[in-house]
Chain A
Amino acid sequence: MVGGRDALTRLRRLYLPLAVFLVLMLFPFYWMLITSIKPNRELYNARIMPLIVYQPTLKHYVDLLTQTNFLTWTYNTMLVAVVTTLISVVLGTMMAYPLARMRFPGAAVVAIGVAATYLVPQPLLFIPMADIINRLELGNTLTAVMLTYPTLLIPFSAWLLMGYFKSVPRELEEAARIDGASRWQAMTRIVLPLCTPGLLSAGIFSFTLAQNEFLYALIFLAKSDVRTVPVGAITELIRGDVFYWGQLMAAALLGSIPVAVIYSFFVEYYVAGLTAGSVKH
């Protein structure tokens, strides 16, 4: 084979399609970034070339941070995400462990129940849930979303972790039990440490899903100072028909950064979590 033809094949089969995918997937983020640093006179001028910035400015960021509740929303989002992740991973672990490693009456029913609750979509539940939250007088409190997000995340974490728990050889646990370890000790000292990657996957996934949640937050959080970033941005930076595009994009970008940073550190665990349901069996 001639080297030139090889390179051409590789260009056609790899680099060209790869470039197309990358441009399509990343263009909206580029658009967010440049819109957020364009001055209004460039944003709202249809005559000039829009793909680049001529005179970048941080005005939209300053306005966002000083004139809106963005920092409060960020704090709310992080608080809710951390609390719900902890609840979900702990309860998910407690459910997955016996389901994966023990035999007891009712196991099959619970396992099917977990799978079914994971798949029941939110739109089926949000109207009755709104009524329930109202009756509990939890409207406009972060408690409302901290109680409802785990309904999405516990079944997911349990499902994911069951796969990891099943993969730990039974002999390891039995050896510990013969040495006098209780069931609890066998779990916390033998199985859980071996499943750290699984716990990380469940945690990262729960965290990103909690940051992404929109419907419950939209319904339960109607006051500005309890809102999360996605709901705050959609409901308050779009006022009537007036759009604050620069601020909106700044909010979208800043609001995406926590997820993106966490994700960049744990991308392997995230991908493992993503594929666990579909590949690992």
Chain B
Amino acid sequence: MSVRPATLARPAPVAGRPFTLRRLLEREGFFSWLMLSPGVLFLLAFVAYPFFYGIFLSLQDRRVASTGVFVGLANFVTLAHDAVFWQVTRNTFFYVVVTTVFKLVGGLGMALVMNQSFRGRNLTRAFLLLPFIVPTALSTVAWMWILDPTFSVVNWLLVHAGVISSGYSFLGNATLAMWSLVVVNTWRGMPFYGITLLAGLQTISPELYEAAAIDGATTTQRFLYVTLPVIKPVLIIVTMFSVIFTFGDFQLIYALTHGGPANATHVFSTWAFDIGMSAGQLGMGAAVALAILPALAVLIVALTLYLRRE
């Protein structure tokens, strides 16, 4: 990079002046790339390389501790004919879509409630964010006990309230297990929506509401025509971030249901883990993991472009 001419402002070194490191460091291009190179090299080695190596692996029949055999797209063809693969696909999309709707609606509600002045608001905000900051694997342990087949406190409450006569096996039933995951994921992610949307709401100037009130707008109208347009960019970005990370969710599902019962709650990440790590089929596992790429790529490109435009 040092041989390139400096792009802006700095005049080229006058001929005859000694060419020193100090002077080199004053060049924008050289200084920038010197600063960037450790991070760039690190990300190339540990993100870009594994990413492409993963694509390479997915084209192989490769088991742990043996050399791989190139099989072309055979892994993907096998997956396309595997009923479990399609179940996993449905599970993943169900999990992402339903939790996103819940988190968005709940988070917006949380933000609107929090956007009123009351004593102890900062403390309340700090408490409401706790589910999001506490290590997920550890809070999921508490949920496992809350949903325990024999000693579930939810069952205890429902039975004693007279709603049901005997307790549910929340994690043992295919439908209930999936809804349990949805509840826990919503519990963990809703504060993220709530607190970021609250920050968005706080950028709305009170004059806007006053003007709307003078024009005779109802509460609903104020929400639709004042609040929503202002927080729309925040809403979009938060949702897209959240969708991308929910697609990649692993630990919550691994800890709570491990994909069970009978694959009912497996998503791409947990199924890829079972195939690639537990069963040691690295090639097939890599292929499963890559199967989320098309959906993700669309989202990632859209979000990257949106963020750059903003």
Interface residues of A (CB under 8 A from B): 13-14, 17-18, 21-22, 24-26, 28-29, 31-32, 35, 43-44, 46, 49-51, 91-92, 94-95, 97-99, 102-107, 110-117, 119-132, 147-148, 150-151, 154-155, 158, 182-184, 208, 211-212, 214-215, 218-219, 229-231, 233-234, 243, 245, 248-249, 251-252, 255-256, 259-260, 263-264, 267, 270-271, 274-275, 277-279, 281
Whole-angstrom distance from the CB of A226 to the nearest CB of chain B? 17
Q: Known contacts being A119-B244, A212-B136, A252-B142, is A271 close to B130, with CB within 8 Å?
A: no
B261 part of interface (Cβ distance < 8 Å): no
B151 part of interface (Cβ distance < 8 Å): yes
Q: Known contacts being A154-B43, A256-B139, is A122 close to B250, with CB within 8 Å?
A: yes
- B133: which of A103, A183, A233, A259 is its contact (CB, 8 Å)? A259
What is the number of contacts between chain A and chain B, taking CB atoms within 8 Å? 297
Are A183 and B26 in contact, CB atoms less than 8 angstroms apart? yes
- A231: which of B38, B130, B137, B190 is its contact (CB, 8 Å)? B137
Residue of A nearest to B22 (CB): A182
Residue of A nearest to B293 (CB): A124
Residue of B nearest to A177 (CB): B26
Are B43 and A14 in contact, CB atoms less than 8 angstroms apart? no
Are B116 and A22 in contact, CB atoms less than 8 angstroms apart? no
Q: Which residues of A contact B190 (CB under 8 A)?
A: 25
CA distance A155 to B245 in the complex (A): 15
Are A14 and B116 in contact, CB atoms less than 8 angstroms apart? yes
B84 part of interface (Cβ distance < 8 Å): no
Q: Which residues of B contact A17 (CB under 8 A)?
A: 109, 113
Residue of B nearest to A230 (CB): B137
Interface residues of B (CB under 8 A from A): 1, 4, 7-8, 22, 25-26, 28-29, 31-33, 35-36, 38-40, 42-43, 46-51, 53-54, 57, 109-110, 113-114, 116, 118, 122, 124-131, 133-139, 141-146, 150-151, 153, 156, 187, 190-192, 194-196, 199-200, 203, 233-234, 237-238, 241, 244-245, 247-248, 250-251, 254-255, 268-269, 272-273, 276-277, 282, 285-286, 289-290, 292-293, 296, 299-300, 303-304, 307-308, 310
Chain B interface main SS type? helix
Residue of B nearest to A43 (CB): B151
Q: Known contacts being A28-B187, A252-B142, is A151 close to B47, with CB within 8 Å?
A: yes
Are B137 and A234 in contact, CB atoms less than 8 angstroms apart? yes
- B113: which of A21, A46, A131, A249 is its contact (CB, 8 Å)? A21
Q: Which residues of A contact B129 (CB under 8 A)?
A: 263, 267, 270-271
Whole-angstrom distance from the CB of A255 to the nearest CB of chain B? 5
Are A278 and B234 in contact, CB atoms less than 8 angstroms apart? yes
Whole-angstrom distance from the CB of B220 to the nearest CB of chain A? 14
CA distance A13 to B115 in the complex (A): 11
Are A123 and B125 in contact, CB atoms less than 8 angstroms apart? no
Q: Which residues of A contact B46 (CB under 8 A)?
A: 129, 147-148, 150-151
Whole-angstrom distance from the CB of A74 to the nearest CB of chain B? 12
4 smallest A-B Cβ distances: which pairs? A121-B248, A98-B32, A123-B269, A230-B137
- A31: which of B35, B145, B238, B250 is its contact (CB, 8 Å)? B145
Are B141 and A249 in contact, CB atoms less than 8 angstroms apart? yes
